[in-house]
Every structure is written in C-alpha cells, then in structure tokens.
Amino acid sequence: MSTNLLVDEVLTSPVTTATGSFLPISGFAKTNITVQSTNSVLLLIFSMQNLYGGGDNTAEFRFVATGASNSPNISQFVDGSLEGTGTTMMWALTGMSGSSNAFSVEWKNVTGTSDADTDYERVFQVIEIVDGAEIIADQFASSQEADPGAWADLIGQASVPVVDTNSILLMIANVPYNMEGDETSDFRFAIAGNDIGSAVTIGMTDSASEGNGWSGAHVETGVANGTYTFSLQWQEITGAGQTDNGRVRTFQVIEITANAALKLNLFGTDGGTSTGSMADVPNLSSSFSVAGTSALQLVIANAQIAAEVDSNADFILAIDSTQIGGKLISFTDSNILHDRMLLAYAKSGYAAGSHDFAMRWITTVASVALTSRNKTLYVIEFTQVTYKVEGVTKDAAGDALATCECYLCMDNGDSTAAFVAYDQSDGSGNYSFTGLSDNTAKYFVLAWKDGTLMDTTDFILQPVT
C-alpha cells in the first residue's frame, strides 16, 4: 500500500481544558501504531477551534512522535465573546518503523482558561506515504527574528535536489509569533528567492499574552530536476513583529515522485463575502474523477480574511458539499488585526467517478470578506500500490516445467507459515501472484506436479510493484 491513514480522529467531545504544562489533548494520544518502513514519510495534521465566548484566552500546541523531536509549536488566542480563531498545523517526519509507535497532539494553557470548543470538529491525522516520497528540505529554528520591511527569507534550505520534473512538491511551514502588541506580518513560500504564487497570509499578535502562530502549505509541480533554494519569506505589515525564541518554527519540503497526482490546483484573487448560508469560497471549488474507493485524497486550502472589525465566519473543507474534517472560525478585530485560514484533511472511500471538492464558509457574527490576495486549494490523490511475486517452474535440469500447482505462502516469523494464494503455471512454466499489499521479503512458493515432483523456493522472495 502506498499511502494509508495511521491515525484518523475527528472529535467534538469530550470537553477538554488545557493546563499549565503540556499534556495530550483528549482523544489525540495514539499508541501501538504500526509504521511499515523507516523510509516512509509521515505527514501529521492537526486542527482545533479554541472556545470563544468566555473571554480572552491563549493556548500553545505541539506534536509528539516516538523518537522524534523538533516539533513546531504554535499558539492560538481568543479575544473575547465575538472574536475566535482556530489552529491548523502540519508536520512531516521519517525514520520510524515497527508496531510500537506513539503519536499525540499536546497543548498547554498560556493565559485565561483554554477549552476545546465542542461545537467544532477537531482533527488529528497521521498519513503514511510508503513509497515514492522523500523529505528533501527539513529545517527548524527557535531564534528570535524581526520581520523585515520588504520580502526576505525567514527559514529555508539551499542546495535542495529535485529528482523528477513530474514530482509533486508539498511545502509546509509553522512559525510561532512572539506575543506582543498589535503586530502583523505577511508570509509566503519561495523557490530560488522568487514568489511562486503561493497564498499570502498573515500572522499576528494582539497583546503581550495574545499571539497567533502562523501555518501554511503550498503545492508546486513542474519544477525541473536540479538543485534549488526553498524558503519561507515574510515582511512587516504593522508594528515590529518577531518570531518567538522559546518555541520551534519549521520548514519542510516533501517530494512525491510516485503513486500520486495533483488533481486540483485552484487559485484566485476574487475577494467574496460570506453569507448566512453555507457556500463555496470563490475560486476554491471544482471537481475531478476519483480513482476509486482505495484512493486517498489530501485536500489543502489557504485563504486570507480581510481586515474588518468584529466579524467572523466558519470555514470547512467539503466533498460533494458535505463537510470533511474540522471546522474553524476566522478572526478579525480591527483594520490591522485579521486572520488567515488553513485547512487540511485526508479522505478516502469515495467511489470512482466525479466528485466536487471545495472550501466553504458561512457567516457567524457579521459578514467576512476575503482579500484580493492569492488563495489556493489543492487536492493530491494517492493511488494504492499492489505488489506481485512471479517466476517460472523448472525441472531438475533447469528446463521450464508446465502446469505445476503453485502455492504462495508467507513466513509468519514465529516458525509458522500461512497460505496466501494459488496459481497454476502456464505452458511455459510461468506463474504469478498479484494484488499483494506489501513488499516485505517474507514469501516463498511451494510447487508440485502430478503429486510426484515437489520443491520450494528460498524464504527470501520479495514482491515487486
């Protein structure tokens, strides 16, 4: 299998409250998770809406994974009874395997009383990309940096090799913003120092204890094989914004070279205004023909809310107008303090045929407008890979032996074996076992002819794609 969901949780209850130290969010601590290969790329996704309506509060979030460090740390704040905001984080890691892995999302209280809003779905997913993906850029830092007056690199990596022009490049970043007073900064992704048309979205802080971290994602295709500098850039909008020197920011690029296709690559600058009924965000809806129920669709959308006063809208991702994953609230508090929206969710099980994909919104307090900046929606579809074992039955002289009864067996690793499949070799001695779900070297074939000739292969057969 090329891609699968190791963790897939969407919860609205129970009520959970952050404490003064990092602890797992209720329902988001998973143990005894099997990872197929140390070469697998694991993509972690988290979204949660902090409760608003109970006054100012701020919480901080991070991932925890077995044997892994350098998780991003992102803060999220709520500014009273009308202004709420949600958090989405994405993080990639590799080098894990076995059946004893643990994954969780932890949070702690910073100010006020931070509760998870039980009216809004919160999400935790771990996606394993088994074949055809590699983390080609992986940077983290925790130093304090001041935003520049013009676009400049904040974090990135030089001399990054891209091996295939047909690759899908998934760029993700998370930046903790220092909690100061009324400051905002723009963020965007770049390749070789150049703007690549990613969504330009804002990070902000409202006071010494109320800060929103920034998270974003971008998908790029058609980059010629070669060596590049990949980076996250930023610039000052208002105030003198800074990164937080006590929390980790991350920047990563995943190159996906096989078993995946970019099915939707939507962008636009039409603003649009939310209404009292759920509707598609302008430019961020389209359809494509899904490969089948075993395919997995990773949907990612970014949008920038315009600067207004005390207006909010709910945002969701949807397939065929039905919500998938979490729901988050936008935030705008004044003409300089306004939020961005990032949503990501992976979904499978849709029958082959055309399906509609969209980012959607609905007014909750007062109508929200989007800026004329680029907003984006991507859908990467991963198709499942199967494997096969094939060969030729031969006699003692090494000549092909036709019409042999062939049984594929699997070594269980505990001095027992299990029957997997049957085939009969053809007139030239060829046999084949297809549709296998893994390519671990643990198979052997037992064959006989006419009940008199019998032999077996070595216990080292490894299926191929």
Evaluated on CA atoms 241, 243, 245, 246, the torsion sign reads positive
Q: What 3-state class would DSSP assign to 181?
A: coil
Q: What percent of the chain has pLDDT over 90?
A: 63
Q: What 3-state class would DSSP assign to 358?
A: strand
Cα atoms in the 13 Å half-sphere on the side-chain side of 332:
26
| Residue 328 exposed, middle or buried by CB count within 10 Å (0-12, 13-18, 19+) | buried
Who wins on pLDDT, 54 or 255? 255
Report the b/e string of 91-113 with b at 16+ CB within 10 A: bbbbebeeeebebbbbbbbbbbe
Q: Is there a contact between 240 and 401 (Cβ–Cβ < 8 Å)?
A: no
Residue 55 has pLDDT above 80, yes or no: no
Instruction: Give the separation between CA 307 and CA 289, rounded to whole angstroms.
Output: 37
DSSP secondary structure letters along 365-426: SS--BB-SS-EEEEEEEEPPP-EEEEEE-B-TTS-B--S-EEEEEEE-SSS-EEEEEEEE--
Q: How many residues does the chain have?
A: 465
Residue 363 has a pLDDT of 92
User: Confidence band (pLDDT; 50, 70, 90) for 53?
Assistant: low
Taking each continuous run of H as one helix and of E as one strand, the counts in the chain are 0, 32
pLDDT 10s digits, 331-390: 877 767 777 899 999 999 999 999 999 999 999 888 888 888 899 999 999 998 778 999
> Can you list the domains of the chain with their CATH numbers?
259-330+338-385 (2.60.120.760), 387-456 (2.60.40.1120)
Residue 344 has a pLDDT of 98
pLDDT 10s digits, 281-328: 999 999 999 999 989 999 999 998 887 777 889 999 999 999 999 999
Q: What percent of the chain has pLDDT over 70?
A: 98
Strands (E), 213-352: 214-221, 226-238, 249-256, 260-268, 279-290, 296-304, 313-319, 322-329, 340-348
User: Confidence band (pLDDT; 50, 70, 90) for 399?
Assistant: very high
Residue 438 has pLDDT above 90, yes or no: no
Instruction: Give the separation between CA 423 and CA 400, rounded to whole angstroms.
Output: 16
CA distance to 2, 187, 230, 404, per residue, from 198 (Å): 27, 9, 13, 58
Nearest to 289 by CA among 349, 355, 380, 350: 355
Residue 433 has a pLDDT of 94
pLDDT 10s digits, 100-158: 999 999 999 998 888 888 889 999 999 999 888 999 999 999 999 999 989 999 999 99
Residue 160 has a pLDDT of 98
CA 216 to chain centre: 11
pLDDT 10s digits, 163-199: 999 999 999 999 998 878 788 889 999 999 999 999 8
Residue 444 has a pLDDT of 95
Residue 280 has pLDDT above 90, yes or no: yes
Q: Is there a contact between 401 and 189 (Cβ–Cβ < 8 Å)?
A: no
Q: Is the model's pTM score more than 0.75?
A: yes
Q: Longest Cα pair distance anywhere in the chain, in angstroms? A: 87
Question: Judging by DSSP bridges, how do beta strands 226-238 and 183-191 pair with one another?
Answer: antiparallel
Cα atoms in the 13 Å half-sphere on the side-chain side of 86:
27
Residue 407 has a pLDDT of 96
* Amino acid identity, position 129: I
Mean pLDDT, rounded, for 48-69: 83
User: CB under 8 Å to 203, separation ≥6 — which residues?
Assistant: 175, 177, 184, 185, 187, 212, 213, 214, 234, 241, 340
Q: Is there a contact between 319 and 215 (Cβ–Cβ < 8 Å)?
A: no
What is the overall mean pLDDT for the chain? Answer: 91
